[in-house]
Amino acid sequence: MILTLLYFVILAGDFPISTALNKQWDEEVAYGGDKYLVVWEDTRKSGNNLRDDIWGQFVSKAGTLIDTNFPICLWDSGQFKIDVAFGDSSYLITWTDCRIIPNGNIYGQLVSLSGTLIDTPFSICTVAESCLAINKTTRGKDKYFVIWEQNYNDGDSSKLWGRFVSFDGKICGDSFRIGTEKKFNSYPDVASEGGNYLVIWSRTSYKGFFDIYGQLIDSTGSLIDTAFLIIEGRSHVMTPTLASNGTNYLVVADGVEDTLFGQVVGTDGSLVGQPILVSAKPLSYAQAVRVSWDGTNYLAAWSDHRDGGNGNPYGQWFSAAGGLADTNFAIIQHWAIQDPPRVASDGEGNYLIVYCDSRGDGFDLYGTMLKKSGVEEQASIKTPSTTLRASPNPFVNSTVISYTVGKNVGSASGGFSLAIYDIAGKLVESVAMTPSLQSKIEIGQNLKSGIYFVKVNNSLTADRHVKLTKIVKLTGH
């Protein structure tokens, strides 16, 4: 499989989203209406972790705050396990609420693009004899789909339920069961490819461990066939997440000894290819993963403890087909705890990563804008002997680029080009090259210290050859 190599730039470091009194945590983020909406649990009013309110903040595509934090729900009963999705002209925020039954209910609130609450909170599910835990919400073609985990009083089972909500906040039909077996069905998530939905969750196996299962559901709420195994786990806890590119789904799950696994699932429920090892010990201690689609590629983000005791947000790019593109990378590294990250994309290669941060006097919310630089390797390298190397690398004064190409790349002058890009994807230097099977060229004398990408391109033939490598220039002493 030929992958597109993705290079990115983190724009201007991270920035505070909410640093109010007490704790801001368990955040979620969605994109819609040309901006992001971040929502979170907040104790600035109560100071009590059992009496969380819900607050929100709009963030522009450029990573600037739009106006200030605003309250979404301030009921004294406490609001937990929130989620957010964008419909056609407003957002739906859902959460577990204890205002009527101590065990919890699922409520929703529409928020306009200006931050105005549309009507009042409305009940999506109230059940007297069970505890409603994690809920997730996604946008379908013409309505929202809300799912939740329902724990039963028999002590040994939890089931999944779902319900549709129109874009204007009207309940569409009755709730319906998704996970029907009498086992623990936990940590659900849901996505849509534009028509049907895929619900995934963690289910106990007969061995006492957890596996990741999936269930396809059509736009009327009918189950398509039966639940199917996606990832076989060997862990006591597995928490999955997914996103869709309209052609398939990428499912990523953590929990197997701090290891991340992925699996591509077709829209028909078939497993595409083999399981993907995303990140594993001894390099990674990964938890709380999320995945998003940007219109070209997937990005998974998670909390990782490889840098010490504190969790930092790490990421991994995937191609549209689900192949790993490049390696794990640190989104932000700081002495404070950043846990766990949430991610949303504007569909144009730009992301907002949001995380809970302990650098202040409690837990605050911070964000980082991640943008793909546009330096990509898109051509197939059809000749195995095609290579591109830089030595020394890193370097102080200059480095020598050595390249070897195949025998069928043509011989007319001017058919090769070498280009140097900075980390933002800006062309900083172009060097003329003489076509030959083996060549060396010295570069870097005029570059400032920093990270660059060197691209060698042959445009002589239809089977175009491209090579890309990263170089690092250090500051001289």
DSSP 8-class letter at 33: T
Q: Label residue 43 exposed, middle or buried (CB < 10 Å: 0-12, 13-18, 19+).
A: buried
Assign residue 269 a region (left: φ > 0; alpha: ψ between -120 and 50; beta: otherwise): left
> How many Cβ atoms are within 10 Å of 77's Cβ, its own excluded?
18
Residue type, 350: N
Kindly report which listed range (33-42, 70-79, 468-477) carries the lowest average pLDDT score. Answer: 468-477
When the pLDDT of each residue in the chain is averaged and rounded to a whole number, the result is 82
Kindly report which listed range (26-35, 101-110, 433-442) carries the lowest average pLDDT score. Answer: 433-442
Tell me the pLDDT band of 11, cut-offs 50, 70 and 90: low
Predicted confidence at residue 335, as pLDDT, reads 63
pTM over 0.95: no
Note the pLDDT tens digit of each residue in 154-211. 555 678 999 999 999 999 999 999 976 767 788 899 999 999 999 999 988 666 678 8
Tokens found for residue 463: 């089977």
Residue 243's DSSP bridge partners are 250
Predicted confidence at residue 61, as pLDDT, reads 93
Note the pLDDT tens digit of each residue in 264-323. 999 999 999 988 888 876 555 667 899 999 999 999 999 887 766 567 889 999 999 999
Q: Which SS3 state, helix, strand or coil, does residue 205 take?
A: coil
Residue 377 has pLDDT above 80, yes or no: no
Tokens found for residue 256: 């197997």
Question: What is the spatial distance between Cα 317 and Cα 323, in angstroms, rounded to a whole number?
Answer: 9
Note the pLDDT tens digit of each residue in 57-99. 999 999 999 999 999 999 888 898 999 999 999 999 999 887 7
What's the fold here for domain 5-377? Neuraminidase (2.120.10)
- β-strands 171-179, 223-235: how paired? unpaired
Residue 12 has pLDDT above 90, yes or no: no
Predicted confidence at residue 417, as pLDDT, reads 73
- Would the CATH topology of 5-377 be identical to that of 387-473? no
Domain range summary for the chain, segments of one domain joined by +: 5-377, 387-473
* CATH no., domain 387-473: 2.60.40.1220
Total residues belonging to the chain: 477
Note the pLDDT tens digit of each residue in 226-257. 999 998 876 666 789 999 999 999 999 986 55
> How many Cβ atoms are within 10 Å of 306's Cβ, its own excluded?
17
